[in-house]
């Protein structure tokens, strides 16, 4: 899958997607990540991409034309393309949505806004879907864009290297432990639950299910 991010801060996105698991997935050709800066598609020497909102109001609004040009470059003549705008007003992103995208699309174009938002005509012209990461407002769309890429990439075969790795597909516990079996902090000793040391796989599975339901 190829992710295309429209952002005025491509370095922020690349710093995350080029590291760790996502970086390895790119080297192994499991996914690709490209960034497109709307400033590169402006026609004035100041590379201006925002202006005051019609009707008045605070802040500045990102102009439609530079974004549309960047999306056109990203889309090209590609097939199976999903175009989204990250926005606190959008539909709540979910694991189910990530699973659907990974199976249905070859390309995901993510438009990351800034300032007071993006000219509403972008959504209308592109028939893009607004996606929210939660009931809160962030400074810009880069963090949500990276979250969308991360969550979706995990569902692409071979990215995790183990088909049982996605936590939501396992009987996962809210509590996990590793060695040593006990450690002391400020005079109090903290121990691993005995059931996890018992070797009784049925009992361990039940413990994990019970704790995971909390």
User: CA-based diameter of the chain, in Å?
Assistant: 70
| Residues in CB range of 50: below 8 A, 6 or more apart | 60, 61, 62, 63, 114, 115
CA distance 149 to 126: 20
The pLDDT, as a whole number, for residue 99 is 96
- Residue 3 φ/ψ, nearest 5 degrees: -100, 130
Average pLDDT value for the chain: 92
Confidence band for 166, pLDDT divided at 50, 70 and 90? low
Helix and strand numbers (H, E) in the chain are 7, 9
- Look up the pTM and report it: 0.87
* Band of pLDDT at residue 171, cut at 50, 70 and 90: very low
Distance CA 37, CA 101 (A): 24
Report, as an integer, the average pLDDT of 157-181.
73
Q: In which band, very low, low, confident or very high, does the pLDDT at 12 lie, cut at 50, 70 and 90?
A: very high
Q: Are 176 and 193 in contact (CB under 8 A)?
A: no
For residue 188, pLDDT beyond 80: yes
CA–CA separation, 21 and 159 (whole Å): 8
**Among 152, 33, 154, residue whose Cα is nearest residue 98:** 152
- Name the pLDDT band for 211 (thresholds 50, 70, 90): confident
Count the residues in the chain: 214
- pLDDT tens, residue by residue, 151-164: 999 999 999 876 55
Sheet strand arrangement including 81-92: 32-36, 2-6, 107-112, 81-92, 129-132
């Amino acid at each position: 899958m190829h992710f295309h991010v429209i952002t005025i801060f491509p370095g922020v996105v690349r710093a995350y997607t080029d590291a760790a698991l996502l970086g390895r997935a790119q080297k192994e050709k499991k996914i690709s990540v490209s960034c497109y800066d709307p400033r590169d598609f402006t026609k004035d020497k100041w590379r201006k991409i925002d202006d005051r909102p019609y009707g008045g109001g605070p802040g500045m609004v990102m102009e439609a034309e530079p974004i549309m040009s960047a999306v056109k470059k990203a889309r090209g003549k590609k097939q199976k393309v999903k175009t989204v705008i990250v926005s606190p007003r959008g539909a709540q992103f979910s694991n189910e949505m990530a699973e659907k995208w990974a199976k249905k699309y070859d390309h995901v174009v993510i438009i990351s806004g800034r300032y007071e938002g993006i000219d509403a005509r972008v959504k209308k012209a592109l028939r893009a879907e607004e996606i929210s990461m939660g009931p809160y407002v962030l400074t810009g769309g880069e963090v949500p864009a990276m979250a969308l890429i991360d969550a979706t990439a995990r569902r692409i075969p071979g990215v995790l290297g183990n088909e049982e790795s996605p936590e939501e597909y396992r009987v996962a516990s809210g509590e996990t432990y590793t060695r040593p079996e006990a450690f002391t902090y400020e005079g109090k000793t903290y121990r691993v639950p005995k059931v996890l040391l018992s070797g009784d796989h049925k009992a361990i599975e039940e413990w994990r299910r019970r704790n995971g339901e909390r």
